[in-house]
Amino acid sequence: MRLINLFIAGFRNIESMRFTPAQHFNLIHGHNGQGKTNLLEALYLLGSSRSFRNARLQDFIGYGRQKAQIKGEIESSGMHTHIRVTLENAGRRVELDGKAIQRASDLYGRINTVVFSPDDTGMVKLGPESRRRFLDRSVYTCDVGYLQCWHSYHRILKQRNQLLKNSDKSSLDTWTEQLAETGAEIIFCRQRFVKRLSGMLRQHYGTISGNKETACITYVPEGIQSTEQEQIRSELLELFERHQQNDIRYGTTTAGPHRDDLMFQLNGRPLKSFGSTGQQKSFVLALKMAELNTVQDIFGEAPLLLLDDVSSELDAARNRNFINFLTDRDIQVFITTTERSPALLGAVTHYAVFQMDDGNLTFKGNESHE
């Protein structure tokens, strides 16, 4: 999978920009606040119509503009696809090869991306919501049906929570059964994905760290012991029953997959409490590499890899190990940094260099280290 070209207009601080990247490594450098991350965000939007920064729609549109537009040409399996995303205050519009699409799932697999940004390291320190967000986005990338299931679960959850606040609870059992049905599918999909991710994470963390520590990711939903979907449903019903009095007291559903968490560990100890900043960043990078491998296994080709300021807080050895991992694979990589020739890319033979200055992108040539 390759990005052939990209056009951006009126998006954040990017007035108008055309980008023709190299096939493998692309370095976008510039001072902070010049628009480097905005470029990666626009590229991510092409494949998902959503941002990886949890931004509002209004945030995308440049000051004084009525709309923003992102257009890209993608080559995948020898075929070229054109995607256009138009963002306006009233909503967003996505066109695939000139035809408007109505559902986000219509974009599925057209342009797969895995993104790493400094904010992702916050997954380790922040609450369960940030880890669930990563997990749900990753599962959807590999399973188009998951998004519909996720939306169904949250629609039913909203109805159940509303009912918990009402005096008439005659239909509570019906909504609880529906919540257990869709919740069981969510848990089943998450379990399957994390099991697949776990072995790859351990391998990739070992590569980045020089096999100095053992990384582990675990998903253990509350009250669930089974890995069979029908049995998960039964266990969820029992969980909801145990929590029902608390649910009624607080007017909300206090247990279920919407409150589950992921456990990150190094050498059997919680990463949050015992991992250094470098170890935490290495862990999240390894997690992204495991996600990349999973997407590649499912689609038969590597996704685009977006790395926002990835070299900060990693020591030289971990940087070198990480880049060696990338150079051994046929991946198109986009890296933002404040340096034109960062130590991160010392092991790369060739890479294209671009400079971002106040939303303007300029090609600066190719670096060669042969």
| Pick from 172-176, 329-333, 355-359: least confident | 329-333
- Is the same domain home to 156 and 64? no
On the question of pLDDT at 369 being above 80, the answer is: no
- Is the same domain home to 107 and 141? no
- Is the same domain home to 250 and 338? no
**Residue 347: its pLDDT value, please?**
62
Count of domains in the chain? Answer: 2
**Residue 368: its pLDDT value, please?**
67
**Residue 59: its pLDDT value, please?**
82
Mean pLDDT across the stretch 292-312? 87
What is the pLDDT confidence band of residue 102, given thresholds at 50, 70 and 90?
confident
Instruction: Return the closest-CA partner of residue 311 out of 328, 295, 333, 290.
Output: 333
Mean pLDDT across the stretch 354-366? 91
Q: Does the residue 322 lie in any domain?
A: yes
Which of 277, 293, 312 is the endpoint of a domain?
A: 277
On the question of pLDDT at 320 being above 80, the answer is: no
Mean pLDDT across the stretch 239-254? 95
Q: Does the residue 121 lie in any domain?
A: no
- Is the same domain home to 51 and 145? no
Distance CA 367, CA 370 (A): 10
Select the more confidently predicted residue: 366 or 174: 174
User: Which range, 110-119, 179-188, 295-304, 336-345, is most confident?
Assistant: 179-188
Mean pLDDT across the stretch 96-109? 84
**Residue 351: its pLDDT value, please?**
84
- Is the same domain home to 182 and 232? yes
Instruction: Provide the residue range defining the domain that includes 196.
Output: 132-277
- Is the same domain home to 48 and 144? no
β-partners of residue 74 are: 3, 81
Q: What is the pLDDT of residues 185-236, one digit of tens each?
A: 999 999 999 999 999 999 999 888 887 789 999 998 999 999 999 999 999 9
- Is the same domain home to 106 and 34? yes
Structure tokens belonging to residue 361: 């992108």
CATH number at residue 48: 3.40.50.300
Q: Does the residue 307 lie in any domain?
A: yes
- Is the same domain home to 89 and 136? no
Average pLDDT, the chain: 89
Q: Does the residue 263 lie in any domain?
A: yes
**Residue 200: its pLDDT value, please?**
93
**Residue 122: its pLDDT value, please?**
86
On the question of pLDDT at 344 being above 80, the answer is: no
CATH number at residue 235: 1.20.1050.90
Distant-in-sequence contacts of 365-370, Cβ < 8 A, 24+ apart:
366/22, 367/27, 367/341
Q: What is the pLDDT of residues 21-39, one digit of tens each?
A: 999 999 999 999 999 999 9
Q: What is the pLDDT of residues 112-157, one digit of tens each?
A: 999 988 788 889 988 899 999 999 989 988 888 898 899 999 999 9
- Is the same domain home to 267 and 366? no
**Residue 19: its pLDDT value, please?**
95
Distance CA 246, CA 17 (A): 54
Q: Does the residue 286 lie in any domain?
A: no
